[in-house]
Structure 1
Amino acid sequence: MLTASYFKGLGLGASLIMAIGSQNAHVLKMGLLRQHVGVTVLVCMLCDAVLIATGVAGMGSLIQRSPLLLEAARWGGAAFLFWYGLRAWRAVLADESLQIAAGATVMPLKAALLTVLALTLLNPHVYLDTVVLLGSIGGQEAGDGRLWFALGACTASVLWFAALGYGARLLAPLFARPLSWRVLDGVVGTVMWTLAGALALS
C-alpha cells in the first residue's frame, strides 16, 4: 500500500514537472552556461519539497476555496512571465546574445539565487501543480500514504532537476554555435508569453 502511494506520487510528480516551463528553461540555461548549477538545482528541489509537503498537509484544499488568492496569483504570475519573456526576446535581438557561448558574463551568486527563486515562487503554475493538484491527490491517501506520496513526488523533483541541470553540459557542443542560443532564447520567450497569455485568459 505504502509502495503504491510512493510510486503514485513519483509518477504524477514526474508527469507534471517535465512539462516545458519557465523554471525548467532557466535550469537548462544555467546548466549550459555552467553557472551556479548547484544553487539553481538545490533551490528548485527545496521549493518543490516545501510546496508539495504543504499541499499534501492540506493547504491545497484551502487555496482551492479562495478565489482571491487564485486571482492574485494568476495576474501576478502573468505579469512576471510576460516580463521574463520580453527579456528573452531582447536577448535574441541583441548583439550580446551571440557572445554567450564563447564567454558569457558570469551571473553573480545573489542574482542567480534571486532569479531562480522568482521563477519558482512567482509562477502560479508551480502552486497549481504542487500545492493544489499534488496536494489534493496526495491528501486523499490514507494514513502514512500521504507521506509516501509526498516522498515520491519529491523524488521525481530531485531526479529531474539534477538531470536537467547537470545533464545540460552534454548539449554544450550544440550550443557552441551562436544560432543555437538565439533559438533557445526564442523558445524561452515563446514559452513565457504562452504561459502568460494562458494565465490571463483562464
Structure 2
Amino acid sequence: MLTLLTGLAFGLSLIVAIGAQNTFVIQQGVRGEHVGAVVAVCIASDVLLIGVGVAGAGALVAAAPGLLTVLRLAGAAFLLGYGALALRRAWRPGALRADPSGAAVPLASVVATAAALTWLNPHVYLDTVVLLGSVAAAHGADRWWFGAGAALGSVVWFTVLGRGARLLRPVFARPGAWRVLDGLVALVMVVLAVQLVVRPVGGA
C-alpha cells in the first residue's frame, strides 16, 4: 500500500502542471465537447506509457536522441498550429460560441488533437517512461505497485480536471470570457513550442 501511495504522489507530481495536455482538457471541459473521450485518451495514453516505463523501456527511449528530436520538432510545429487557431478564435469574436454546451467539433478531430498533444510531446516520454520507470525500478519487485499508483494518479487527475472544468461554464456564458480563454490557450501553446525548439529535451 505504501508503494502504491508513493507512486500515486509521484505520478501526480509529474502531471499536475500547466501544459498542452492539461490546457486542452480544461478547454474541452469548459466547452462541454467530448469531455469523456478526451479524458479517456489522456488516461489510456498515460497508463500505457507508465506500463512501458515500469517494464524497463526507459533505457531504450533515452538511447534514441534522434527520435526525441523528431518528436520535439513535430510537437513544436503542432503546438504552434494549435496556438494560431486559438489566437484566431480570440481575435475574431464572431467565431466564439457563447453557449459551450454544443458539440461543434467532430469527435474524431477532438480525439486526434488529444492524442497529438500527448504523443507528440517528448517530455511525456521522459517523464513517464524514463523518469517514472527509473524510480519504479528502485522499488524492485514492488515496481508494478508503484506504477499502479502512478496510473491511478492519472485517472484521478484527468477525471477531476475534465469534469471539474464544467463548473466554470457560468463564467463562459459571456463571449468575452471565451476570448480570454483562447488567448491563454494560444499563449501556453506558443510558449511550450518555443521551449521545445530552443531547449533540447532533457537539457537544463
- TM-score, normalising length from structure 1? 0.92
**2:10 is the counterpart of 1:12:** yes
**2:192 is the counterpart of 1:195:** yes
How far, CA to CA, are the matches of 2:167 and 2:91 in structure 1?
A: 26
> In the alignment, which residue of structure 2 is the partner of 1:32?
30
What are the Cα deviations for residues 10-61 of structure 1, in whole angstroms up to 9, with x where unaligned?
1111111111111111111111121211111111111100001101111112
Task: For residue 169 of structure 1, report the CA deviation from its aligned partner.
Answer: 1.2
> In the alignment, which residue of structure 1 is the partner of 2:90?
92
Cα 1:105–1:152 shift into 2, 3 Å: closer
Task: For residue 176 of structure 1, report the CA deviation from its aligned partner.
Answer: 1.1
Q: Which runs of 4+ in 1 moved over 3 A?
A: 100-105
What are the Cα deviations for residues 68-111 of structure 1, in whole angstroms up to 9, with x where unaligned?
12222221211111111111111111233433436755211221
> In the alignment, which residue of structure 1 is the partner of 2:113?
115
Cα 1:4–1:188 shift into 2, 3 Å: same
Gaps of 5+ in 2: 200-204
> In the alignment, which residue of structure 2 is the partner of 1:21?
19
- Number of equivalences: 199
How far, CA to CA, are the matches of 1:102 and 1:43 in structure 2?
A: 21
Secondary structure of 1:112 counterpart: helix
- TM-score, normalising length from structure 2? 0.91
Q: What residue identity is the alignment partner of 2:16?
A: M
> In the alignment, which residue of structure 2 is the partner of 1:131?
129
RMSD: 1.6
Alignment partner for residue 61 of structure 1, among 53, 59, 63?
59
How far, CA to CA, are the matches of 1:163 and 1:115 in structure 2?
A: 20
Contact 2:31 2:100 in 1 (8 A): no
**2:159 is the counterpart of 1:162:** yes
Gaps of 5+ in 1: none
Higher deviation after alignment, 96-105 or 132-141:
96-105
How far, CA to CA, are the matches of 1:96 and 1:128 in structure 2?
A: 40
Contact 1:18 1:160 in 2 (8 A): yes
Higher deviation after alignment, 166-175 or 64-73:
64-73
How far, CA to CA, are the matches of 2:103 and 2:94 in structure 1?
A: 10
Q: What residue identity is the alignment partner of 1:80?
A: F
Q: What residue identity is the alignment partner of 1:176?
A: A
Task: For residue 128 of structure 1, report the CA deviation from its aligned partner.
Answer: 2.0
What are the Cα deviations for residues 117-148 of structure 1, in whole angstroms up to 9, with x where unaligned?
111111222222211221221122211x1101
Higher deviation after alignment, 192-201 or 95-104:
95-104
